[in-house]
Structure 1
């Protein structure tokens, strides 16, 4: 939310939030830029004063928060901390999930549990939080940090998509070069994205839009009208944004090769599915 703990950046944050905060409540989770790089990380002191709901909900020095809104409950985590801090958050999260009777549950944290930068990234966060997210039937996991778009769903023993749905998204002008894993349903690179989430009746709908054009990039519904939740993937028919200009650098050429391999493998997987149905 704030680039660095300096007055000029906080002024920029306030300016950006001003028109939004007049109309909508703002819930925020800590990111790595809000933390100061000491041996034990230290949160920049203004953060919990600006987002003051953390003042009454912190667990130790962890900035955690939960909010119930009608049939929805949000669980905000502080994923920037060291292992022993994350462990105390795990105890808090399990207690909150156990006692929640909300029909819809969304977990929000900064670091992706399934990284798009590399399979060994964020292992502490994944090890500590992911089993709880799956055990207590969380529907949606909203994540950032790795500057790209990615969406992943789990699949049951019959191969049907099932919650939780994991998303990675960002609105930064800086883009990361990511790895590509076939377990993800959709990627987006070299662009910026935001999500619009709506709950209506027995359905949670998530739509992803590109910035600044505002065109629809991804869309799915989680429907709870039967014995178990069903996911309807509307985004699979929207082309992936995988445009990249490699230039003359060796790393750029290698990344372009990685993108082409991903495209080829995805096309082949689609052809195999079509042939199987035929």
Structure 2
């Protein structure tokens, strides 16, 4: 007798590619309800003084409340303060939903806050989030490359591995392409991304870069074809609104405990003509940086480790700004491999491309000659620990093995020195498959 839920009842056919989501066609599992979901906190421009929260409900909820209070040890939380959200409607393949944003300001640095959001006659769980501390306090943050495909089945374990490796992380950075589909086909994908992330978006401050898959092609394969910002992006995250006017929901910056982080929109720069505007904006953001460290986060890399990809306009227009201000780390995704390189013998900048999801590309010969280490066929997460004098970077495989690591030391005169961390590193990994399950020789895994 076949038992419901046994392996033989759901396993994919041998040799067949797994579907991108676990949702059967036409299933409305991730449709909005009166219960708040897709709850995600993001840093304010000054993350020591505030944060913002986005969440979703059905259309029966408009301008709901966020409640917050200083966290204590008693279940009696006292009388919380309230913030009224701003609500935006979104039409998807699962119907119309309401997306809400509430900004919490006037907080104290390095303080644990309790907060929850409202639905239709119900509330979310109470969540705990600690504001950023002083610039001289040590910071732990997580960094993930593209998640994009098979979020529930394959990405979830990478995110859990990162949380377990860095339980004290306060901030999480994502390099874009969080989901794969375009408007009209991706609401279930976003549902699976949040299911995979679990409580990570509520109890760390999440700061993503936008990827090309958060855009879609309008009038595709016609002379009128153009790149258009997907409707999910502006309402899914409550990000600082301090970027350039032409990309005001996808370029932003914030300060977090001794680090200035600037987030760029590579798709807008490459396809929508905003490279010059982003360069001028980035120049000002970095020139005003009072902190010892700086990080630039963007999706498309300055130096691509994949064959046939050359982001020339990024290098021509934006890279000189990064070099001029001696940015410490440039964190990137897009190319679904691992690769790191610097600028000759200089300690900084360090340019890093990584991937969290199961979609895996192959490395170019140029990447193998100019980057070290490099890697294929490997899901990774990154843990950064930072204090005023030291920045330690470690990339680990999903099973926790050290794949790459280095430390930047800040000298008294402000110069930086890089030390490679080689103890315990595993050997670089290569793809051993000749083609994917769909027959593609240019990729390692779909």
TM-score, normalised via structure 2 length: 0.52
Match status 1:104 vs 2:306: no
Secondary structure at 2:278 match in 1: helix
Partners of 1:144 and 1:187 lie apart in 2 by 13
Structure 1: tracts of 5 or more residues without a match: 257-278
Partners of 2:375 and 2:296 lie apart in 1 by 22
2:283 equivalent in structure 1: 94
Match status 1:72 vs 2:252: no
Match status 1:135 vs 2:324: yes
1:23 equivalent in structure 2: 203
Match status 1:224 vs 2:401: no
Query: Alignment partner for residue 172 of structure 1, among 357, 375, 379?
Result: 357
TM-aligned CA deviation for residue 83 of structure 1: 5.4
TM-aligned CA deviation for residue 127 of structure 1: 1.4
Task: Provide Cα deviations, 1:228-272, integer angstroms capped at 9, x if missing partner.
Answer: 2100011487343333324489996x999xxxxxxxxxxxxxxxx
Q: By percentage of residues, which structure has more helix?
A: 1
Query: Alignment partner for residue 14 of structure 1, among 170, 186, 194?
Result: 194
Match status 1:43 vs 2:223: no
Secondary structure at 1:167 match in 2: strand
Q: By percentage of residues, which structure has more strand?
A: 2
Q: 1:238 to 1:85 in 2, by over 3 A?
A: same
Tell me, yes or no, if the aligned pair for 1:246 and 1:255 is still in contact at 8 Å: no
1:264 equivalent in structure 2: none
1:184 equivalent in structure 2: 371
1:268 equivalent in structure 2: none
Tell me, yes or no, if the aligned pair for 2:227 and 2:272 is still in contact at 8 Å: no
Tell me, yes or no, if the aligned pair for 1:64 and 1:78 is still in contact at 8 Å: yes
TM-aligned CA deviation for residue 26 of structure 1: 0.5
1:265 equivalent in structure 2: none
Structure possessing the higher relative contact order (Cα contacts under 8 Å, 6 or more residues apart)? 2
Task: Provide Cα deviations, 1:198-230, integer angstroms capped at 9, x if missing partner.
Answer: 10341100000001x111111100101244210
Tell me, yes or no, if the aligned pair for 2:378 and 2:429 is still in contact at 8 Å: no
- Between structure 1 and structure 2, the one with the greater Rg is 2
User: 130-139 vs 237-246, which deviates more?
Assistant: 237-246
1:114-129 aligned at under 5 Å gives the runs: 114-118=303-307, 121-129=310-318
Partners of 1:120 and 1:18 lie apart in 2 by 34
2:180 equivalent in structure 1: 3
The count of corresponding residues between Structure 1 and Structure 2 is 249
Q: 1:202 to 1:35 in 2, by over 3 A?
A: same
Query: Alignment partner for residue 60 of structure 1, among 245, 250, 261?
Result: 245
TM-score, normalised via structure 1 length: 0.82
Tell me, yes or no, if the aligned pair for 1:2 and 1:13 is still in contact at 8 Å: yes
Partners of 2:402 and 2:309 lie apart in 1 by 31
Tell me, yes or no, if the aligned pair for 1:188 and 1:240 is still in contact at 8 Å: no
- Superposition CA RMSD, Å: 2.4
Tell me, yes or no, if the aligned pair for 1:150 and 1:185 is still in contact at 8 Å: yes
Structure 2: tracts of 5 or more residues without a match: 1-177, 219-224
Give every structure 1 segment of 4 or more consecutive aligned residues whose post-TM-superposition deviation is greater than 3 Å: 246-252
Tell me, yes or no, if the aligned pair for 1:187 and 1:240 is still in contact at 8 Å: no
Query: Alignment partner for residue 238 of structure 1, among 425, 436, 440?
Result: 425
